[in-house]
Amino acid sequence: MICPLPSSGIPPDDLLDLIYHYKALLIRQLYLWYRGQEAIVDHLLHRFVLAGRIFRNSERVACNADWLSNGNPAYEMAFWALLDFRDSVEYQLPGNHGITISAFTENGEYDFVSVLPGHEKSTSDVVQAQREALGQRLVIVVQNPDQIPLITIHPVAAYCVVSPDGKTTYYTTAKEAAPCQPPTSAS
């Protein structure tokens, strides 16, 4: 006898909204966002797939099949950093005008900007032109520490280096070699 898994603890619309906001996220990221409730996440994802609301492969879930093959690297990188702030996040949404993700936390607003390799100058130009309109806590997310000196956005609360496996390391300045914890206030 198969018993349906109760979905208490995760409102189905919240999970669906998260997937729709970011178009494609890794299933591991959803597990971390709803940590301790992985079985419920799997159950809801299965139900959404059967209803035709989302698409899923072995590692990624998406609201559009076109996004499934390679996802959205900028959102994926920024979401790893956002997970570090998960316990204090009150509201989050994809950003505009160069901001990848905006998050409102108990410590104030954070803007996460993903800078893909080779896009340091163009992303810097777009974000710096809008810098005064952005929050004071700007976290620049990169794939490699070598990208940090190529970025010309100021001021920045921290740089977050995301490894291919999703591990995050924070630097408060481009010159500082020692990693720091996720910043709770602008420096």
Per-residue pLDDT of the chain (187 residues; tens, 9 = 90+): 454 555 467 889 999 999 998 888 999 999 999 999 999 999 999 999 999 999 998 899 998 877 777 788 889 999 999 999 998 898 888 887 678 898 998 888 899 999 999 999 999 998 888 887 777 788 999 999 999 999 998 889 899 999 999 999 999 875 554 556 676 554 4
Q: What per-residue confidence (pLDDT) applies to 184?
A: 58
Q: How far lies 169's CA from each of 6, 79, 118, 123, in Å?
A: 36, 14, 20, 21
- DSSP readout, 3-31? PPPP-TTS-HHHHHHHHHHHSEEEHHHHH
Going along the chain from its start, the domains and CATH numbers come out as 12-68 (1.10.10), 73-171 (3.40.1350)
The secondary element (H helix, E strand) that includes residue 103 is: strand 101-105
Asked if the peptide bond before residue 183 counts as cis, ω within 30 degrees of 0, the response is no
46: left (phi over 0), alpha (psi -120 to 50) or beta: alpha
Predicted TM-score (pTM) of the model is 0.86
CA distance 45 to 56: 8
Helix (H, G, I), strand (E, B) or coil at 93: strand
